Chains A and B, each alone.
Chain A
Amino acid sequence: MGTVVAPLVSIVAGAVLGVTTLMGVISSQTGAPDQSPANAEAPALEYGTVSE
C-alpha cells in the first residue's frame, strides 16, 4: 500500500508547489502597475497612497 501512496503523494505535493509557484510568479508580474508620479523630475513628496 505504502509503495503506491508514497509516489502519488510526491506527485501531488510537486504539483501543488508547481501550481502555487506559477500563481505567485504570475500574480507578482501582472498586478496593478506601480503608481508613478506624473512628473518623474518632481515626485510628489507624499507619505503614501491608499488603494482605490
Chain B
Amino acid sequence: MPTRSTAAPGTVSSRGRLPALLPTAWSLLLAALVLGPALGWGYVLSYDMVWVPRLDLRADTLGLGSALPRAVPSDAVVAVLDDVVPAVLLQKLVLLGALTVAGAGAAALVHERSVPARLVAATLAVWNPFVVERLVIGHWPLLVGYAVLPWVVVALRDRERPRLPSYLPLLLLLGSLSASAGLATAVAALAVGVRRSDARRTLVLLAWLAAANAPWVVAGLVQASTATSDPAGAELFATAGEGLLTGPSAALSFGGIWNAEVVPTSRTGWAGLAMTVLLLAAAAVGLLRVLRGRVHVDALGGLVVCWGVGTGLAVLSWAAPGALGRLAADVPGGGLVRDGSRLLGLAVPLVVVLVAVAVDALLERLPDPATRVLVGGVLALLPLSLMPDAAWGVAGRLDAVAYPVAYDDAREAVSRAPAGDAVSLPFVSYRAPVWNDSRRVLDPLGRYLDRPVVVNDELVVSGTRIAGEDPRAARVVTALDAPSPGERSALLREEGISVVVVEQIEGYPVPALEGTATLDGDLAVIELGAADTPRPSPTRRAAMAAAWLAWLLVPAGAVALGLRRRRQARRRTLGDTRRCARP
C-alpha cells in the first residue's frame, strides 16, 4: 500500500520546531554563500540586472513606453518599493529572499520526508545551474517566480481542500513580475490547481492568474510595435551544451543557458557530468519507488506536466530553434519562448521530490541514526562539492559596486532639461564599465534618469546582431545617422528627445550633436531643446489603467478574502462553543 509519508528514518526526522526550521536556515546559509560579496554595500549590476538608487514611476515602467514590456511589472514594483526601502537594501532582500524562499519551498514540497531528505531538496533548489546562471545573467524576476513555484504547488495540491488558499493571489502576484516568470507560474498553478470536477475553482484560479499577469499581457497587446521578434534570436538563445554535456543533458540537470559567459566553469568539466549522472540516477530511483506504489506523491501529474513543459521547451529550442524563431517572428509574443532554458525552473519541483524519495530510500537501509545523519549530510553537500564555483558571488562574477558620482550629476542635469525624453549614447544596449569591474550590464542610464530613456534594444551576441522591436529606437538610429549635427539634433527632437547623455567609450564613437552642453565629464549632458514626446493613445492608456487596476485588485482581494475567511472561522468557533455550552 502506498504511503504518503514513509517512516521517517531515525531520530533526525522527529517533528519539532528545529527540524521544521532547519531547511529554511540551511537555505538562507546557501543563499548567503552563493551571493557572498554581492551582499556587500552597493548595487549588483550584471547583464540584465540593473538596480539604481531611485527608480521613478514613469510611462515606460508602467508599460506605456515604445519598447516591449520586458520589465513590466517588476520595474513599477521596484519604483514603488524603493520609496519605502532604499533600493540598495531592497535588492539584497530580493536576491537573498528569493534563494532562501526557493530552498524552503523545495523542503516544504517534501515536508513529510526526513530532515536529511528535506535538506537535500533545499540544496538542490538553491545550488543548481538554473539559479546560478539566471542570477549572473540578471533575471531576478524569473528567480522570484522560481522561488514562488514550490509554494504554489504546496498551496494547490491538497485535494481535500476545495477552496483556494487566501494567500494564493499574493503568490501569483510575486510569481508574475515578468512575462517569463508569469508564464512559469501560470503553468504550475494550472497544472496542479485545476480540478475537472470543480469548474468554479478553475475559473477563480484563471481570474487570479489573468489579473496578476494583466500589466505585461496588456502592455504587450496594445504597444506600438508588432510584438514579434527577430527569428535570429531563437538560434542564438537556444539551449546550449555545457562542456561535456550536450544541450538536452545540460537541461536535465537544470543548465544549458545560451550564454557561455554565465555558465559556472565547473559545469564544463567532469563535475558537471557527474552532477547530471547523480541527479538522474537519484531521480530514477525515486521514480521507480513511486511507480511501484511504495510512495505516494501529491499532485504527481501536475509536477510531471511542469517538468515536461520546462524540459520540453529547453530541448525543443536545442533541437529546432528555427521553429521557435518562426514562432517569434510570426506570432506576437512568440519571442517569450525563444530563450529555451528560461522556463527550466519548472522542472525543478518534480526532480526535487523524486530525489527526496530516493534519499529516504537510502537512509532507511542504514543501521543507526548517527550513520543516517552522516550520510544525509554528505548527500546535502554533494551539489556544493560538484559546483564549488557557485559560491562567493559565483566565484566573483557578482559583486556590489557603487555608482560613480557622475551618474548623480547626470541625473540632476537631465532633470533640469526641457520637457522631452532622453537618449543615452553610444546607442548600444550594454556597457562594461570599469567601475563595475568591466562586468557587462544593461546601460544603467535607462533606469537612472528621472525621465523615460529611449534605449537601443538591438542585441549583439557573438558578433551577430538581433534586431530590436522598438520602432522608436530604430528611428533614433536613423536620426543619429543624419549627415550634420544640426540635422541629427532636429530629428531627435522630432522623435521627442530633448536631452542626450554621452559616455565616452573607446571603440564606440558618438556623432556630434547641436545643443547646449550642461554637464561635462565622464557623463556629458547635452540639451537639444524642448520636444513633444509621443503620447500613448487614450485607448492604450485606458487599457493599461484597467490592467493595473486588475493587478492592484489581486493583493486587495487576497487581504479581503483572508479577513472574510477569518471572520467565518471565528463565527464557526463561536457557534460550536455555544452548542457545547447548551445543557
Contact = CB atoms under 8 A, between A and B. Distances in A.
Given A35-B261, A45-B460, A20 B47 contact: no
A45 B367 contact: no
B243 interface: yes
Given A9-B366, A48-B259, A23 B461 contact: no
Contacts of B440: 45-48
Interface string A1-43: 1100110011001101100110111111111101100011111
B240 interface: yes
Contact of A45 (B263, B272, B388, B428): B428
A30 B267 CA distance: 11
B501 to A, nearest CB: 16
B431 A46 contact: no
A2 B428 CA distance: 67
Interface residues of A, number: 37
A11 B374 CA distance: 10
B8 interface: no
Contact of B462 (A2, A25, A43, A50): A50
Max chain B CB contacts within 10 Å: which of A27, A32, A42, A49? A27
Interface string B263-299: 1111111111010000000000000000000000000
B476 interface: no
Nearest to A17: B378
B258 interface: yes
Given A13-B375, A27-B270, A31-B268, A47 B385 contact: no
A42 B262 CA distance: 21
A46 B461 contact: yes
Interface in B212-267: 236, 240-243, 258-267
Interface string B393-404: 001000000000
A16 B287 CA distance: 23
B461 A24 contact: no
A46 B274 contact: no
A1 B368 CA distance: 11
Contacts of A5: 366-367, 371
A45 B459 CA distance: 9
Interface stretch (B93-101, B140-148, B174-182, B503-511): B503-511
B271 A50 contact: no
B539 interface: no
A43 B432 contact: yes
B514 interface: no
A6 B505 contact: no
B382 interface: yes
B531 interface: no
A25 B95 CA distance: 26
A14 B385 CA distance: 12
Contact of A14 (B268, B274, B378, B387): B378
B371 A48 contact: no
Contacts of B271: 20, 23-24, 26-28
Contacts of B366: 5-6, 9
Interface in B374-393: 374-375, 378, 381-382, 384-389
Contacts of A16: 378, 382
Contact of A51 (B260, B432, B508): B260
A45 B389 CA distance: 25
A24 to B, nearest CB: 4
Nearest to A29: B265
B241 A51 contact: yes
29 contacts: A6-B366, A6-B370, A13-B374, A13-B375, A16-B382, A17-B381, A20-B271, A20-B385, A21-B385, A23-B269, A23-B271, A24-B266, A24-B271, A26-B270, A27-B266, A28-B266, A28-B271, A32-B265, A39-B506, A41-B506, A42-B507, A46-B430, A46-B459, A48-B461, A48-B462, A50-B259, A50-B260, A51-B260, A51-B263
Interface of A: 1-2, 5-6, 9-10, 13-14, 16-17, 20-21, 23-32, 34-35, 39-51
